[in-house]
Chains A and B, each alone.
Chain A
């Protein structure tokens, strides 16, 4: 079972929910797909046992064979190649590694090398009651504009027999969509404020287009107005949990502590959330 924990708006507590749920839910995996800003490790403090480089193919031109015909540059949709006089320039930071240039070159002058765009770190974290939790996250290199290939690599680690939790990137663009694709359920974490609602509506739109059932968790549920609740009612989206603002919880978060480690009542709350999600998926 693959569950994405997402939020249109950043900072609603998505990672708090994802990590706490992962710690409490039995046989769970935590996979951080927010590769631009992976934060789950701060709370789960995993022991990393394996590190893998994530690479992307980029073209390499054999100047001996190249006739400077310019077909490669014309074929590239991302302007990552330019043929200027007797020189082919490769702008690797624009390249998507699609292979169109290699395919089109009539002289077979293009081969491919690889470029590192980030890495994966895999390990185990201590969950509650002596259990262990599979942990993995992707990290995008600074200045790397392409996170979907890293997200795909993280998702390859999903074990379908587990309760796999994907911590999704914020927003509604390609990295978020890449994370949601193929999930069984998506839990949106939001705040009851105008910003929260606006971004939630956009995010729900993505889940609907992808045909993924979703539910809502309202965090800091006493801090704004009732418009999120009204929206959920109107759109018939189940609200699975509401967590009021709690300064202790916010403080624990700020220190990088998972709240369920210390609070029995929160532990029960998250266990209930787990049951509700499983019930929703099996519906």
Chain B
């Protein structure tokens, strides 16, 4: 089984559009939406849920105000300024600021604080017209997206084994932080979808740095390449210099948004040259993956 992750660094470069198209083109594949913060793949693939479960991301502190003697030790020690005090409510934990480190629970002389399992989201296995899909929803403002990404990927792998699929396609999260790391460590290939804007290029170099850090082979695709031909040429230069295969240059065409509004991939909704380029790109990716 091979594993491909599609990332971008900068958001909005068309990563999910490419993933959805690959999902339709690939035969015998499992999909994993690792963009658990702002999952969008389901909007195109309209999954039908088969099963779902809570995501227990970790533990968090619970303060029992009955036991609390207002000694203030927890607030003094907490390094995340997450314990607030007011005359009316006494000591309370601000769950948005809390890092769930557990120091307050260790320190409270009255054992008024205990660490309890927390539900940080929900994950699903669904049927789609492109194959089975594992996806998740992180609770609003929740922590631990890296862990949820790991869980989604693991479930994707298990599913691929069970169904005898030869490929797992992960739609990765934006950025270069912990969820991205969780989405790319140990995969066979990364496809970086970028755009010819300074921010797109800047971020492409950052995610490429991350791939090199973990020693993962990467490919590049430039979306809306004709928006700025000078920059597209610079991306070509960067790719040649770093021996990064450039597998596709997709033109800017508002028809892509029409496909999205119609809830279709750019393969199913005729997008002219865009469709053609993405098809050719998929062939190159298949070859690179050796499947």
Contacts and interface: CB of A to CB of B under 8 A. Distances in A.
Interface in A215-264: 223-225, 245, 247, 250-251, 253-256
A181 B38 contact: no
Given A96-B101, A170-B37, A172-B141, 14 more contacts: A9-B12, A37-B9, A39-B199, A39-B202, A39-B203, A142-B176, A144-B177, A147-B177, A171-B174, A195-B43, A202-B140, A206-B140, A254-B200, A254-B228
Nearest to B61: A77
Interface residues on B, range: 35 or more
12 contacts: A37-B202, A97-B79, A98-B101, A100-B101, A103-B106, A145-B177, A171-B145, A175-B177, A202-B37, A245-B254, A250-B227, A254-B227
Interface in B169-195: 173-179, 181, 195
B196 A254 contact: yes
Contacts of B145: 171, 173-174
B142 interface: yes
Interface in A183-228: 193-195, 198-199, 202, 205-206, 209-210, 223-225
Given A99-B77, A224-B257, A172 B38 contact: yes
A256 B260 contact: no
A253 to B, nearest CB: 6
Given A206-B140, A254-B227, A37 B40 contact: no
Contacts of A99: 77, 79, 101, 103
A106 interface: no
Report the 10 A-B pairs with minimum CB-CB distance, sorted nearest first.
Answer: A10-B11, A11-B12, A98-B101, A145-B178, A171-B37, A254-B228, A256-B198, A39-B199, A254-B197, A100-B103
Interface of A: 8-12, 15, 36-37, 39, 42, 75, 77-78, 96-100, 103-104, 140, 142-148, 169-177, 181, 193-195, 198-199, 202, 205-206, 209-210, 223-225, 245, 247, 250-251, 253-256
A98 B9 CA distance: 29
B131 interface: no
Interface stretch (B63-71, B205-213, B280-288): B205-213
A142 B103 CA distance: 28
A77 B176 contact: no
A199 B206 CA distance: 24
Contacts of B178: 145-146
Contacts of B257: 193, 223-224
**Interface core residue of A9, A10, A147 (most chain B CB under 10 Å):** A10
A10 B11 CA distance: 4
B152 to A, nearest CB: 14
B143 interface: yes
B199 A15 contact: yes
Interface in B26-73: 37-38, 40, 43, 58-59
Contacts of B265: none
B138 interface: yes
Contacts of A224: 257, 260-261
Given A173-B37, A251-B227, A209 B140 contact: yes
Nearest to B263: A194
B75 interface: no
Contacts of B196: 254
Contact of B176 (A9, A140, A148, A181): A140
B5 interface: no
Interface string B99-116: 111110011000000010
Contacts of B59: 77
A205 B96 contact: no
B146 interface: yes
A253 B197 CA distance: 7
A96 B38 contact: no
A10 B10 contact: yes
Contact of A170 (B77, B174, B231): B174
Contact of A37 (B100, B103, B203): B203
A176 B59 CA distance: 21
Given A77-B59, A98-B99, A170-B175, A255 B198 contact: yes
Contacts of A210: 96, 141
A104 B80 CA distance: 18
Given A198-B43, A255-B228, A100 B102 contact: yes
B141 A10 contact: no
Contacts of A202: 37-38, 140
A172 B174 CA distance: 12
Given A96-B99, A171-B173, A177-B96, A9 B38 contact: yes
